[in-house]
Amino acid sequence: MEFGSAGALSSESSELWIQALTYFRDIEDQYQCETFIEKALAYIGKMNVLSAPTVLEILTEKHSLRFRVLKAFLKLKLTK
């Protein structure tokens, strides 16, 4: 699964990523949920689409989400 190409990121683009993360978070199958979130976070982190607090706010509602899913994204954000 690939997510778009680099380009000007607008507030509309950010809103779409918020919706996508919310959708992925709500997938009941844990493996699919984590797989989609990891891929989305890789793009979000690389393209700097959303802030770390926004991502954490969305994903904290998924209590079963493992830290390893967020690890690469948070590491990237902390080193910038």
């507030």: which residue's tokens? Answer: 11
pLDDT tens-digit series, residues 20-78: 999 999 999 999 999 999 999 999 999 999 999 999 999 999 999 999 999 999 999 99
> pLDDT tens-digit profile of 65-77?
999 999 999 999 9
Cα 59 to chain centroid, rounded: 8
Element (H, E) at 38: helix 30-47
- What length does the chain have? 80
- The backbone region for 11, taken as left when phi is positive above 0, alpha when psi lies in -120 to 50, beta otherwise, is alpha
